[in-house]
Chain A
Amino acid sequence: MTTRRVRGPSAVRNLSTMAISLVGVLFLVPFLWLVVVAFQRHGSLELAGGGGFTLSNFTSLFTGGGMFLQSFENSLFLAVGTTIFTTVIAVFAAYPLSRFGSRTQEYFVYVLVFLTGLPIIAIMIPTYDYFVTLNLINSRFWTVCFMTATALPFATWIARSFIDAVPRELEEAAWMDGSSRFGSLKRIVVPLIIPGICVVAVFTFVNAWSDFFVPYILLQGANSPASVTMYSFFGQYGVNYSEVAAFAIVYSLPPVLLYLIVTRWVGQGFALRGAVKG
């Protein structure tokens, strides 16, 4: 990916290296306060002070019980549940959409792409209304179902493009030997698209883990995930900034780590494909 480069004279090279370095430093500035304050005893909005270095803000997240641990557990439930449902349903649906290229299937794919562009935020009001009517509100399971539905169009589309890349001849050989369609999907296609499945899974997990608006509308109280808990600290008087900063850092780690692992493994090009929705 980065083999071809435009090599300019060294003055240009130094200038752009300096400019890019400056951008990098500026981009780090918002993190500065968060990271410093998380290790202070009682931090404030200011960098200085804070009463010395400590790790207790991090350890107390997991020992104190209560709200922090509970909201991590809820985030994990939503993200893992959504990821499993979405990945399984998407791979199953993507297979026929990739293999039988009839007109109907083609239009179906258009509908999927169309749905990836629709604003989920615009359907939250009626969703809230009908979740209340059917008494599905404040249920983590039904929230997972809703989040699965919103993740599916994009996940299926991506899964389909990975299955497209598996040569049909491989499967035909298996059919000759008496394998069923389901058998060839399981034994030939799935093992070959493991990287694609990972991209779909990681992308879905990161989105569900970070989602704020959907759980904010559909869940409350003890069922709230970390994003909603985090929101309750905005502009609140008497917030323990150090504790919240530690919480924010721990909550931010999974998406960052997962992305780094997956790009190492399947390459940035694939990861980008999985991220096309932004």
Chain B
Amino acid sequence: MVAPLIVFILAFIGWPIIWTMILSFTNMTITGPTATHFQFIGFANYRQLFSSGSGLVQSIFLSLYYLVASAYIGQALFGFALAYLMLSCSMRVRKTVGSIIIICWLVPEIIAAWMWFAMLSDGGTLQQGLHAVGLPYQTWLISHPMISVSLANSWRGVAFSFLLFSAALSDVPAELLDAAKVDGAHTWRRLRSIILPLLATTILIDFVLITLGTLNDFTLIFAMTGGGPGTASNVLSVFMYQQAFSTFQLAYGTAIAVVLLVIGAIFSVIYIRTLRRRGALNFVR
């Protein structure tokens, strides 16, 4: 009964992973003579990739920026703040705002990109709004591309961390917090000494999952800025795409893909270990 699963995974995931590794040692291109008659060229792609001026260092830096700004601050921290504030908030507002945030998350990524693209464009609603109150506006997509895409990704993705933290916060025993309150522990103290330790595993799982999701995010940035202007928002995934399909260096692109795979594998292993410790992977008997 497991056979179809194994066939699908081997044919469409297993083989491409192996083929990625193999191609990264060749000189294959999309067009031209080396498209079909490619040769093995050893570590040349990797030497080119890790040499200065390849753009890899800039891309890694931009990916890290995107990760910290949009995932860690814009989604995890902001999502936790929302979930925490909602504990002491009127029921109606909580339900309404919760639904709004979830809808932002459910809208297809390309549509989210389109809305933000339109809003931040030259002549878009943000410019008009700022002009209406007498403030200047430079098109952020051009002057601050990383801020633009990070804002869009926080807006889109905060629901995931918010839902995860909301569920975990509602499991924190109220008696514990009440007892601490009676003993004179203030909000900050209760947060630091009771809530955060109880949420440690949830926080770790959230960080691992949003790290994986954000490092592999492509659509939002590709659609909003295309990695530009120039290479100003060329995160790893867009960098890989451009090397493989825009400059037709297919094999060189796979060398970047291997870097992405290695990063993904490391975080996957952390994820498995966390789940195991939590008992989520245990067998029934």
Give A contacts to B, CB under 8 Å.
1-8, 12-13, 16-17, 19-21, 23-24, 27-34, 44-47, 89-90, 92-93, 95-98, 101, 105-106, 108-110, 113-127, 129-130, 145-146, 148-150, 152-153, 156, 164, 168, 206, 209-210, 212-213, 217, 226-227, 230-231, 233-235, 241, 244, 248, 251-252, 255-256, 259, 268-269, 272, 275-278
Asked if B4 and A93 sit within 8 Å, CB to CB, the answer is: yes
Q: B86 contacts the other chain (Cβ, under 8 Å)?
A: yes
Q: How far is the CA of A115 from the CA of B257 in the complex (A)?
A: 15
Which of B4, B121, B125, B215 is the one whose CB lies under 8 Å from A89?
Answer: B4
CB distance B209 to A125 under 8 Å? no
Q: B123 near A45 (CB under 8 angstroms)?
A: yes
Among B89, B160, B237, B261, contact of A16 (Cβ-Cβ < 8 Å): B89
Answer whether A122 and B20 are a contact pair too, CB < 8 Å, given A30-B116, A212-B219: yes
Which residues on B are within 8 Å of A, measured CB to CB? 1-2, 4-5, 8-9, 11-13, 15-17, 19-20, 23, 28, 82, 85-90, 93-94, 96-97, 100-104, 106-119, 121-125, 128, 155, 157, 160, 163-164, 167, 170, 172-174, 177, 208-210, 212-213, 215-216, 218-219, 223-224, 237, 240, 244-245, 250, 253-254, 257-258, 260-261, 263-265, 267-269, 271-272, 275, 281, 283-285
**CA gap between A67 and B43 in the complex, in Å:** 45
Cα A3 to Cα B218 with chains together (Å) = 39
Q: Quick check: A106 and B283 within 8 Å, CB to CB?
A: yes
Q: Please, which residues of chain B bring their CB within 8 A of the CB of A227?
A: 108-110, 219
Assess the B264–A7 pair: CB atoms within 8 A. Answer: no
Known pairs A32-B125, A33-B124, A125-B253; A95 contacts B1 (CB<8 A): yes
What's the Cα separation between A32 and B104 when bound, in Å?
13
Closest to B121 in A: A45
Evaluate whether A153 and B23 lie within 8 angstroms (CB atoms) in the complex, with A33-B124, A114-B272, A234-B223 already known: no
Contacts of A6 in B (CB 8 A): 87-88, 174, 177
Give the tally of cross-chain contacts (CB within 8 A).
Answer: 276
- B86 contact set on A, CB distance < 8 A: 16, 20
Q: Which residue, of B96, B100, B157, has the highest number of chain A Cβ atoms within 10 A?
A: B100
Whether the pair A206, B106 counts as a contact (CB closer than 8 A) is yes
Residue of A nearest to B151 (CB): A30
Judged by DSSP, the binding face of A is helix
Question: Complex: how many Å from CA A156 to CA B6?
Answer: 11
Kindly identify which residue among B9, B13, B106, B264 contacts A255, using a CB–CB cutoff of 8 Å.
B106
Give B212's nearest chain A residue, CB to CB. A117
A8 to chain B, nearest CB (A): 4
The list of the 6 closest CB pairs from A to B, nearest first, reads: A117-B268, A149-B12, A24-B97, A210-B108, A101-B283, A126-B19
Contact at B123–A46, with CB atoms within 8 Å? Answer: yes
Q: Please, which residues of chain A bring their CB within 8 A of the CB of B111?
A: 230, 248, 251-252
CB contacts (< 8 Å) of A275 on chain B: these are 160, 163
| Chain A minimum-CB-distance residue to B94 | A20
Q: Is the CB of B268 within 8 A of A118?
A: yes
Q: Which residues of B contact A115 (CB under 8 A)?
A: 9, 13, 268
In the complex formed, the residue of B with least CB distance to A100 is B283
**Which one of A30, A46, A145 lies within 8 Å of B12 (CB-CB)?**
A145
